Amino acid sequence: MKTINWGILGAARVNQRLLPAIENNPHSKLLMLASRREGAAQECINQYSKYPTEVEASQEFDEVIQHPDINAIYIPLANEEHTEVALKVIQHKKHVLIEKPMALTKDEVIQITNAAKKNEVQVMEGFMYAFHPQFDFIQQMIASGKLGKIQYAHSMFSFPIQPARYYRINRSIHDGGGAHWDIGPYAIHTLRKVMGGSVKRAFATAQMNTHQADMSASGILEFADHRRATFDISFECTRRSEFQIFGDKGCLKCHTVWQHENDEAIISYELDGSTPVVEKIPKGNHFDLEVSHFVNCILNNKESDKLSMNDAIHQAATMEAVYQSIQNSHWISV
Ligand SMILES: NC(=O)c1ccc[n+]([C@@H]2O[C@H](COP(=O)([O-])OP(=O)(O)OC[C@H]3O[C@@H](n4cnc5c(N)ncnc54)[C@H](OP(=O)(O)O)[C@@H]3O)[C@@H](O)[C@H]2O)c1
């Protein structure tokens, strides 16, 4: 079977997770990593690669984008940089795995979608959590009808931001800074996945710092039939990484969702009239599973059924509505 040769653009922290996942995939080989900061690419390779002598470091993104042997590129750049770089990668007919959020606006995701169709390449937004076996379990629980009709869900994601990451909150939410664009995508995407159907409108409020980056935000998403979901994200609270789903026959809690691969996966649920159940799901490395899924999409020349471009478009539209609501203090239609 064909090997997918990968390049990475950016010496980002998340490479700690994704770079090994690329190297763990039997159909993948990492050829090059580029960073605009002198020495940062080599440092990143030395830190995270199992085969550091086989991965070339570069300070030029174009060396990766124009590399004749590279077929797929992973983009873990700052959120506001994703679109421009992704479009360039796609124009060079390379498949691209883009970290969440794929882009800051719905229109940008539509541009990426159209470019991918035209150049016949696969594109996927990097929501690794959707590949964890615990998420399969949750989706099966919902599909089985045991919880009844899903009426409400709540997601919470927070951790105190470390000083080394202050550059994420030293630019305004308008420019891609703050919790909304950083951890908001997970909290909102998960609600969209478990509620089913599309978000009709959104309302949110946020606590801004002096740079106008949101440190904490809470919001409501309204789905069809007036079903609601709420989220709470924060760079100021202790670590929380969980969500709960409430149907008309039962409820379920996922205790650690946007987690490290070695965290215990625990789901607890309670169906009306029966005793509460605590289910331990076998550990799974969702980064490995995410890369494996995307590689299969490339090899089989088919769009991801788990994270489609339509899903990415609606996700961006929802993120944009929440952002506008934070700015305007009104409900915003999606
Ligand atoms: N799926 C996940 O679990 C997960 C987790 C965290 C983040 N993310 C997403 O992945 C993307 C990257 O996030 P991240 O937190 O890993 O990024 P990060 O470390 O903040 O790096 C983002 C980009 O900024 C540059 N950079 C890195 N360190 C820097 C520094 N000290 N000073 C100036 N520039 C620096 C790098 O580009 P150069 O090397 O070219 O300078 C890098 O690609 C974001 O879209 C984020 O939302 C995903």
DSSP notation for 287-332: HHHHHHHHHHHHHTT---SSS-HHHHHHHHHHHHHHHHHHHH-S-E
Nearest CA residue ID for atom 30, ligand 1: 167
In the prediction, which pLDDT does 264 show? 77
Q: pLDDT (tens digit, 9 = 90+) per residue, 129-156?
A: 999 999 999 999 999 999 999 999 999 9
Distance 48 CA to ligand 1 centre (A): 15
In the prediction, which pLDDT does 273 show? 84
Nearest CA residue ID for atom 32, ligand 1: 167
Average confidence (pLDDT) over 294-306: 97
Checking if the pLDDT of 1 tops 60, the result is: no
In the prediction, which pLDDT does 197 show? 87
Q: Which atom of ligand 1 is nearest to the CA of 41?
A: 39
Average confidence (pLDDT) over 237-244: 94
Checking if the pLDDT of 306 tops 80, the result is: yes
Checking if the pLDDT of 257 tops 90, the result is: no
Residue 123: band (very low, low, confident or very high) from pLDDT cuts 50, 70, 90: very high
Average confidence (pLDDT) over 33-51: 98
In the prediction, which pLDDT does 260 show? 67
Task: State whether the beta carbon of 298 lies less than 6 angstroms from ligand 1.
Answer: no
In the prediction, which pLDDT does 259 show? 66
Nearest CA residue ID for atom 15, ligand 1: 13
In the prediction, which pLDDT does 283 show? 83
**At 132, is the secondary structure helix, strand, or coil?**
coil
Average confidence (pLDDT) over 260-285: 88
Checking if the pLDDT of 118 tops 90, the result is: yes
Task: State whether the beta carbon of 290 lies less than 6 angstroms from ligand 1.
Answer: no
Checking if the pLDDT of 169 tops 80, the result is: yes
Nearest CA residue ID for atom 42, ligand 1: 12
How far separated are the first and last CA of the chain, in Å rounded? 42
Lowest mean pLDDT among 51-60, 119-128, 158-167: 158-167
Task: State whether the beta carbon of 10 lies less than 6 angstroms from ligand 1.
Answer: yes
Return the bridge partners of 73, or none.
Answer: 7, 96
Q: Which of 155, 158, 154, 163 is nearest to 214 (CA)?
A: 158
CA Rg value for the chain: 20
Residue 263: band (very low, low, confident or very high) from pLDDT cuts 50, 70, 90: confident
Distance 63 CA to ligand 1 centre (A): 20
pTM over 0.75: yes
Residue 63: band (very low, low, confident or very high) from pLDDT cuts 50, 70, 90: very high
Q: What is d(CA 20, CA 16) in angstroms, rounded to the nearest whole number?
A: 7
Beta strands in 224-312 (DSSP E): 228-234, 240-247, 250-254, 265-271, 277-281
